Amino acid sequence: MSGDWVKVCADDAIDEEDVIRFDHGGKTYAIYRSPQDTFHATDGLCTHEKIHLADGLVMDNIIECPKHNGRFNYQTGEARGAPVCINLKVYPVKVEAGSVFIQVQ
Ligand code: FES
C-alpha cells in the first residue's frame, strides 16, 4: 500500500551534498540532496544504535553515521560499512513547485 505525500521543505533549504532531519507522524526521516542535485529520503535513525543520521556526513552517495562511522548508500539504503549491517529503509521523493515531498508509509 502506498502512503501519503508529505511536504518536507523548500528545495533550496537543503544544500547540495547535505542532509536534514524531518519528523512526521512520530517518525524521523533523513532527507538528502546529492552532489548531482537529486533528492532522497531514508529512515532518520541509524540501524546500529538509533543515532540521528542528519548529524552525519554526506559524501557523494554515502551517509556516514556520526557515532561509529557506519556507512549507508542513502540512495538505495544499503549498509556499506561496519558496524552497520542492517539496511536503511528508503522512501520515494519528488520535487514539485520548488518543494520537496516524501511518500511516507
Ligand atoms: S550508531 Fe550508527 S554506526 Fe553505530
State pLDDT tens for residues 43-84: 999 999 999 999 999 999 999 999 999 999 999 999 999 999
Establish whether residue 44 lines the binding site of ligand 1, counting it when its CB lies within 6 angstroms of any ligand atom: no
State residue 61's pLDDT score. Answer: 97
- Is the pLDDT confidence value at 14 over 80? yes
Evaluate: CB of 51 within 6 angstroms of ligand 1: yes
Task: Give how far Cα 84 sits from Cα of 6, 21, 41, 46, Å.
Answer: 28, 20, 18, 8
Q: For ligand 1, what atom is nearest to the CA of residue 65?
A: 2
pLDDT score at 75: 98
The amino acid occupying position 14 is: I
For each of the domains in the chain, give its residue range(s) and CATH number, in order of start. Answer: 4-104 (2.102.10.10)
Ligand 1: does its nearest atom lie under 6 Å from the Cβ of 57? no
Provide the residue type at 36 as one letter. Q
Residue 11's nearest CA partner among 29, 36, 32, 28 is 32
Ligand 1 atom closest to residue 47's alpha carbon, by position in its atom list: 2
- List, in order, residues 6 or more apart from 77 with CB less than 8 Å away: 42, 87, 88, 89, 90
DSSP strand pairing (62-64 vs 5-10): unpaired
Residue reference for cell 547535505: 18
